[in-house]
């Protein structure tokens, strides 16, 4: 005789701790625990933006997800409070940029902020530029620029470059999903690029110039999107400052689980929510397709990421957000 408390998801002879229907989120304030989609202004470093927001928030724990160079503008995701723990997942998201490149000029930084190291005449045609751009689409190995935030033996490469220290930089795998030319008014070329994390658009500009034989450097860059966070929905620092002053900043704070949409979601009852937050495992034999699960409490808040345990059907806390 079959038990009437068998798991409806996996058929195991026990009550299942997971439900697949996520309850609606309660309309309670999240406070300063979430993600800000900032429209970074030109001239500021990503660290500058984090510092300004930390001051605005009265010292809230703050961190950014994906560096933008000072020359760049656009989407910079800043995590507040408990959301700092999901920064690594935001960094993994693909990115979309709008880039402007000047052909015929090479600089040591690969962009317009650097020292010019070579100048050449630009004799290429529009068709040649379009063909060269198309050749960059796909999986490839890309060598990071010398002036970058990558660490070598614990030291940022740009610090070594400023000292005149030359370091061999290992190529890294990236993928460019698409490149769309927007305006080619030689010697200037503007295009949109959709790419994987870790792609340096400065290097892409430099490599485009090398492929065309005339050299090139990046003159402007805007990040249009990071994952599903788009520039159209980004807030400026001035708008954010006004929101803090008027105590309405929560309208700009996205829930931290928006960084985790790539993982399957399950809901648990209040007792199992308590068990998760205390570090206990739950068991379900369902064949989930992601290595991590988002776990939601009855009020609709994401309380944890769960990971597979050692025993069959075991799911244990990986990160707890409450």
Please compute the mean of the pLDDT values over residues 10-23 and round it to a whole number: 74
95-225 and 34-92+229-254 share a CATH fold: yes
- Cα 128 from Cα 212, distance rounded (Å): 8
Q: Active-site residues: which are they?
A: 69
Q: How many CB atoms lie within 10 A of CB 245?
A: 10
| pLDDT tens column, 21-35 | 898 887 655 678 999
pLDDT of residue 3: 36
Tell me if the bond preceding 187 is cis, omega within 30° of 0. Answer: yes
Highest mean predicted confidence (pLDDT) among 8-12, 62-66, 169-173? 62-66
Domain boundaries, the chain: 1-30+257-322, 34-92+229-254, 95-225
Q: Which CATH superfamily is domain 1-30+257-322 in?
A: PUA domain (2.30.130.10)
> Of 316, 300, 319, whose CA–CA distance to 308 is shortest?
316
The CATH number of domain 95-225, selected from 3.40.50.2300, 1.50.40.10, 3.30.2350.10, 3.90.1200.10:
3.30.2350.10
Class of the domain covering 34-92+229-254: alpha beta
Please compute the mean of the pLDDT values over residues 219-234 and round it to a whole number: 97
165 band by pLDDT with thresholds 50, 70 and 90: very low
Coil/strand/helix, residue 244: helix
| pLDDT tens column, 111-123 | 999 999 999 999 9
pLDDT of residue 303: 96
| pLDDT tens column, 280-308 | 999 998 889 999 999 999 999 999 999 99
pTM: 0.88
> Of 40, 165, 158, whose CA–CA distance to 109 is shortest?
158
- Cα 21 from Cα 72, distance rounded (Å): 41
pLDDT of residue 144: 85
Beta strand pairing call for 72-80 and 216-226: parallel
């Amino acid at each position: 005789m079959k038990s009437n408390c068998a798991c409806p998801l996996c058929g195991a002879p026990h009550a299942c701790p997971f439900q697949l229907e996520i309850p609606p989120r309660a309309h309670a304030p999240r406070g300063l625990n979430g993600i800000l989609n900032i429209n970074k202004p030109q001239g500021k470093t990503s660290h500058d933006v984090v510092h300004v927001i930390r001051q605005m928030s009265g010292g809230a724990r703050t961190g950014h997800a994906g560096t933008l160079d000072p020359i760049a503008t656009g989407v910079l995701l800043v995590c507040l409070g408990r959301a700092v723990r999901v920064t690594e997942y935001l960094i993994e998201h693909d990115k979309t940029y709008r880039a402007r490149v000047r052909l015929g000029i090479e600089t040591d930084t690969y962009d317009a902020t650097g020292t010019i190291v070579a100048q050449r005449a630009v004799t290429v045609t529009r068709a040649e530029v379009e063909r060269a751009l198309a050749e960059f689409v796909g999986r490839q190995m890309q060598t990071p620029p010398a002036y970058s935030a990558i660490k070598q033996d614990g030291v940022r490469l740009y610090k070594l470059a400023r000292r005149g220290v030359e370091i061999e930089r290992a190529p890294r795998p990236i993928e460019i999903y698409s490149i769309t030319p927007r305006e080619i008014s030689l010697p200037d070329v503007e295009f949109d690029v959709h790419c994987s994390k870790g792609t340096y658009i400065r290097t892409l500009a430099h490599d485009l110039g090398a492929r065309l034989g005339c050299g090139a450097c990046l003159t402007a860059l805007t990040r249009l999107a990071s994952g599903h966070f788009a520039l159209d929905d980004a807030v400026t620092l001035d708008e954010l400052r006004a929101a803090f002053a008027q105590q309405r900043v929560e309208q700009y704070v996205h829930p931290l689980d928006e960084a985790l949409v790539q993982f399957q979601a399950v809901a648990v009852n209040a007792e199992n929510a308590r068990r998760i937050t205390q570090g206990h495992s739950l068991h379900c034999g369902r064949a989930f397709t992601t290595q991590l699960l988002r776990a939601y409490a009855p009020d609709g808040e994401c309380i944890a990421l769960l990971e597979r345990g050692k025993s069959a059907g075991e799911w244990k806390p990986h990160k707890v957000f409450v």
